[in-house]
Amino acid sequence: MTGNRAVLYLRLSKEDMDKVQKGDDSASIKNQRLLLTEYALTHEFKIIRVYSDDDESGLYDDRPDFEKMMLDARLGEFDVIIAKTQSRFSRNMEHIEKYLHHDLPNLGIRFIGVVDGVDTEDEANKKSRQINGLVNEWYCEDLSKNIRSSFQAKMRNGQFLGSSCPYGYKKDPKNHNHLVIDEYAAKVVKRIYKLYLSGYGKARIGAVLSSDGILIPTIYKREVLGEKYQNAKALDTTKTWSYQTIHTILNNETYMGHLVQNKVNTVSYKDKKKKILPKEKWIVVKNTHEAIIEPELFAMVQNLQKTRTKSVKVKEEKSIFSGFLYCADCKHTMLRKYARHGKKGFVGYICKTYKTQGVKFCSSHSIQVCSLEEAVLSSLKNEARNILKEEDIEELKKVQIYNENREYCESQLENIKKRLVKTEKFKKKTYDHYMEALLSKKDYIKYVSEYEAEIAQLQNQKAVFRAEMDSQQEADAAYNAWAEAFKDYINVSKLTREMVLELIERIEIHADGGITIYYKFQNPNKG
């Protein structure tokens, strides 16, 4: 029989129709609170806390107050959860099985659904709980299909359904499903197209806009338009126009007056993850709003991009350092640095931020490719020599220390095991003496408390010694992995891509031309 410490769980779904507005403690939430409070008082439960999730779907278990409630459940804060119905707790069959039929029973916590008669203390209604779970999940699946069909119908009808408009547009105050031009941002979009057709690259266009102090779309939407906009792909610290932002604007058909929607979708009605849909499933409706870029101009930009991409692919050659080089200060990747005055091929690397945004944001951090290869090869060979020089002496010391430490830990663990067995026996005898009236209740509680404290202390000591042994084994394995990785590289004469892939995590280039190599098997080594 569970105790009487109860919590109330209230939830209002996104699909509920009696909601007032987001952020309000709506009428439905208030009604749930009144109903559950009355039930708890009538059945003599002591309400210690109320958890409330407003505007949250019952399909997911990452609801803020639901997560707090389950954490408090594991901490033993209460004995009973009371909700209006099982569906308020969850509409996901997997979660019903996980929480109602596994986690909560194991924690000794009872769940009560007031309206639908769900009670986990009653084994007889387990099947009905499972049937209700399936019915609730089917309801969500059907609702999801209906909503998706409704959205797609609106898209085909030329209605804009995005939460935020493409840069250059804003929602029509008279019709939020229609786009109207944002004059200021539209001028920036036109300038981007004009610069690109004039021969500017995408990164260089970004540098020009950043230098002129033009806000990037994310900040413009938040600070100027007042939208609660967040770009998941952009860092909060980013204030410069990126290559990708310019690329997206130059390829967005919306600027020709067409709506392009249904480009991404959720994996399933039970999963929040998004998947990119193939182009044939996109919903494109022509001439739904005023264009910023003429179709002929847009086509010229697409053709120019294809031409430039082909020319870049012809002159690119695979580098052994591709994907490994970073600026030591701004932490961005390094770009190839090509020879000037008619000479062919690339000669080194330069900081991407400096190259695209200018000296205001970072310095060049330039390095010649031959110097870089020489420095990395030298560092790699030195590591190999150090390993082989010290290997015999260090290995002998390591084995000796490891054996002594292991023997000590094993002897201590054996002693702790014996003391635990003895203390458990004393604790059991104390209970027997109490039952035989040889001990008073006061003395019994005192002795048991002392034994339990001693048992807890011994268990902690046991964990410490086991962790010490595990740590020693991990250190030994790490050393062996390091030696094994480097032993074959003491006499190599040429650096290869395979060596870099096997041994190196990343390489950072400093402003003075120095390098820091982060190996996969140890702390960074400054070169």
Query: Is 125 in the same domain as 274?
Result: no
Domain membership of residue 506 (yes or no) is: yes
Q: Where is the domain boundary, 122, 154, 186?
A: 154
The per-residue DSSP string of 221-241 comes to HHHTS------TTS-TT--S-
How sure is the predictor about 387, in pLDDT bands with cuts at 50, 70 and 90?
A: low
Higher pLDDT, 82 or 380: 82
Distance CA 33, CA 83 (A): 9
Buried b (16+ CB within 10 A) or exposed e, 236-245: eeeebbbbeb
pLDDT value at residue 405: 66
Average pLDDT over residues 498-521: 85
Distance CA 260, CA 254 (A): 7
User: For 187, how many CA atoms within 13 A lie in the half-sphere containing its CB?
Assistant: 4
Q: Where is the domain boundary, 246, 269, 304?
A: 304
Q: Is the pLDDT of residue 32 over 80?
A: yes
Lowest mean pLDDT among 60-69, 84-93, 359-368, 402-411: 402-411
pLDDT value at residue 343: 55
Query: Is 458 in the same domain as 517?
Result: yes
Average pLDDT over residues 465-494: 63
Print the domain residue range for 344.
318-527
Domain membership of residue 162 (yes or no) is: no
Domain membership of residue 423 (yes or no) is: yes
Query: Is 352 in the same domain as 325?
Result: yes
pLDDT value at residue 2: 62
Non-local (6+) Cβ contacts of 381 within 8 A are: 489, 490, 491, 492
Q: Is the pLDDT of residue 312 over 60?
A: no
Chain mean position to CA 245: 22
Chain mean position to CA 98: 23
Domain membership of residue 138 (yes or no) is: yes
pLDDT value at residue 286: 92
Helix residue spans in 84-125 (DSSP H) = 86-89, 93-95, 104-107
Higher pLDDT, 498 or 204: 204
Domain membership of residue 159 (yes or no) is: no
State what percent of residues in the chain have pLDDT above 90: 23
Q: Is the pLDDT of residue 23 over 50?
A: no
Kindly report, residue by residue over 410-464, the tens digit of the pLDDT. 777 787 888 888 888 888 887 777 777 777 888 878 878 887 888 888 888 778 7
Distance CA 488, CA 384 (A): 8
Domain membership of residue 261 (yes or no) is: yes
Question: CA separation (Å) from 364 to 213, 300, 323?
Answer: 22, 34, 18
Mean pLDDT of the chain: 79
Query: Is 365 in the same domain as 474?
Result: yes
Higher pLDDT, 436 or 285: 285
- Could you tell me if 45 and 109 are in contact, meaning their C-beta atoms sit under 8 angstroms apart? no
Kindly report, residue by residue over 134-182, the tens digit of the pLDDT. 666 666 566 666 667 777 788 888 889 887 889 999 999 999 889 999 9
Lowest mean pLDDT among 6-20, 77-91, 350-364, 397-411: 397-411
Query: Is 443 in the same domain as 404?
Result: yes
Higher pLDDT, 284 or 416: 284
How sure is the predictor about 526, in pLDDT bands with cuts at 50, 70 and 90?
A: very low
Distance CA 189, CA 293 (A): 8
Higher pLDDT, 476 or 345: 345
Length of the chain as a residue count: 527
Distance CA 130, CA 91 (A): 11
Lowest mean pLDDT among 125-134, 175-184, 349-358, 501-510: 125-134
Element (H, E) at 9: strand 5-12
Average pLDDT over residues 494-522: 83
Query: Is 119 in the same domain as 257?
Result: no
Average pLDDT over residues 72-85: 92
Distance CA 371, CA 368 (A): 5
For the domain that residue 297 is a member of, what is the CATH number? Answer: 3.90.1750
Average pLDDT over residues 283-290: 92
User: Which range, 129-138, 207-216, 518-527, has the best average confidence (pLDDT)?
Assistant: 207-216
Query: Is 429 in the same domain as 392?
Result: yes
User: Which range, 297-311, 397-411, 499-513, has the best average confidence (pLDDT)?
Assistant: 499-513
Distance CA 312, CA 512 (A): 30
pLDDT value at residue 81: 95
Query: Is 192 in the same domain as 119?
Result: no
Average pLDDT over residues 277-291: 88
**Amino acid identity for residue 404 in this structure:** E
The strand pair at 110-113 and 118-119 is best described as antiparallel
- Could you tell me if 327 and 509 are in contact, meaning their C-beta atoms sit under 8 angstroms apart? yes
- Could you tell me if 112 and 119 are in contact, meaning their C-beta atoms sit under 8 angstroms apart? yes
Query: Is 272 in the same domain as 331?
Result: no
For the domain that residue 91 is a member of, what is the CATH number? Answer: 3.40.50.1390
How sure is the predictor about 203, in pLDDT bands with cuts at 50, 70 and 90?
A: confident
How sure is the predictor about 298, in pLDDT bands with cuts at 50, 70 and 90?
A: very high
Non-local (6+) Cβ contacts of 527 within 8 A are: 375, 376, 378, 379, 514, 515, 516, 517
3 state DSSP class of 376: helix
User: For 265, how many CA atoms within 13 A lie in the half-sphere containing its CB?
Assistant: 18
Higher pLDDT, 272 or 252: 252
Domain membership of residue 312 (yes or no) is: no
Query: Is 367 in the same domain as 420?
Result: yes
Query: Is 347 in the same domain as 438?
Result: yes
Q: How many domains, in total, are found in the chain?
A: 3
Domain membership of residue 311 (yes or no) is: no
CA angle at residue 169 from 168 to 170, to 5 degrees? 140
Q: Where is the domain boundary, 304, 336, 351?
A: 304
Question: CA separation (Å) from 156 to 101, 284, 292?
Answer: 44, 7, 22
Q: Is the pLDDT of residue 217 over 80?
A: yes
What is the 3 state secondary structure string of 119-154? ECCCHHHHHHHHHHHHHHHHHHHHHHHHHHHHHHHH
pLDDT value at residue 337: 83
pLDDT value at residue 96: 83
Query: Is 20 in the same domain as 140?
Result: yes
